Amino acid sequence: MQCFRARHTLPILLLPICLWCFFPAAGSILFGQETQETVEEPAPVTPPTNGIPSLSLFGNGQDAPISSLLDIITQGGYLMVPIVASSFLLILFVLERFISLRHSRVIPKPFVKRFLHQLREQSLDKESALEACRVSGSPVAKVFEHAVLKWGRSGVEVEQALLDGGERVVHSLRRYLRVINGVATVTPLLGLLGTVVGMINAFNAIATSQAMGRPELLAGGISQALLTTAAGLTVAIPALIFYMYFVSRVDRLIVEIDALGQEVVHLISAEGLEELENETDSSRDSTSTKSSGRSTKSSKSVGAA
């Protein structure tokens, strides 16, 4: 129960944070913020610009305050498109990794317990062990399968086969983690690029329109320019957190698979099989000795009678 809580506490804590980052309206509900009724106000009067053009950076010609996620995307400009696309990719691959890296899927306990028990009891041969691994199809079973292919060989050969299979499984476990890391790395740079482009456009507009002494125009342009940086960080921070979490999770799974694989190597190598046979023979000898001793005692008691 404690292991379950430790494994699932971080995703549960991250879920409302990500929802709040991607969907501000949903975040306000999750964190218990009370919504206030909208009070109707008279439409603001647009001040005359005296022929000075508006500093809308991307041609929408709107200076209205930003009130929704769609407004943020629209006013952020064309560089918001790859940032939004990266956020959807992040959600897709994070969900896929949560499903694929479940402990019950990577290391199914029923299969592992049954497989190791049958190896200790010598109730499996090479063909039946291979069949059991192929039927399971789990990552740990694929590692076991590579070791079983060297059944009866020296411990060094079996362990090398185990390492070869482990490298392939590790590659599959780390799949898509580079994509998540790439999202965490690229989206802040896209946001910074959007801010730089927006600032250049804002200052160019001020210079060409002779708008010196009108700080509200510069403030509006800078506000729009900073939207891309905010959006990039909003996507990058959860991406980095998820990347670190999945890397740690994969490392824990690899350590556990390695420990189980070493036990399999010990049981199916030539040295391990010989040791098991010696233990079986000694147990049989002790059993036969005990039974012969009992028969001798019974015969003596019959003769005395």
> What sign results for the dihedral spanned by CA atoms 251, 254, 260, 261?
negative
The number of domains in the chain is 1
Query: Is 86 among the domain residues?
Result: yes
Quote the domain boundaries for residue 78.
Answer: 69-196+224-278
This prediction's pTM: 0.69
Q: Is the pLDDT of residue 295 over 50?
A: yes
Query: Is 262 among the domain residues?
Result: yes
| Average pLDDT of the residues in 50-66 | 43
| Average pLDDT of the residues in 19-47 | 44
Query: Is 266 among the domain residues?
Result: yes
C-alpha closest to that of 218 among 232, 201, 234: 201
Query: Is 111 among the domain residues?
Result: yes
Q: What confidence tens digit (pLDDT) does each residue in 98-143 have? A: 999 999 999 999 999 999 999 888 888 889 999 999 999 999 999 9
C-alpha closest to that of 205 among 192, 219, 191, 221: 221
Contact between 161 and 264 under an 8 Å Cβ cutoff? The reply is no
Q: What confidence tens digit (pLDDT) does each residue in 147-174 have? A: 999 898 888 999 999 999 999 999 999 9
Q: Tell me phi and psi for residue 190, to 5 degrees.
A: -65, -40
Average pLDDT along the chain: 76
Query: Is 82 among the domain residues?
Result: yes
Query: Is 291 among the domain residues?
Result: no
Q: Is the pLDDT of residue 87 over 60?
A: yes
Q: What confidence tens digit (pLDDT) does each residue in 247-289 have? A: 999 999 999 999 999 999 988 888 877 877 776 666 655 655 5
Q: Is the pLDDT of residue 236 over 70?
A: yes
Residue with the larger pLDDT of the pair 152 and 6: 152
Quick one: pLDDT at residue 6? 44
| Average pLDDT of the residues in 13-37 | 44
Quick one: pLDDT at residue 235? 95
Query: Is 1 among the domain residues?
Result: no
How sure is the predictor about 15, in pLDDT bands with cuts at 50, 70 and 90? low
Query: Is 20 among the domain residues?
Result: no
Distance CA 86, CA 67 (A): 22
Helix, strand, coil in percent for the chain, rounding step 5: 75, 0, 25
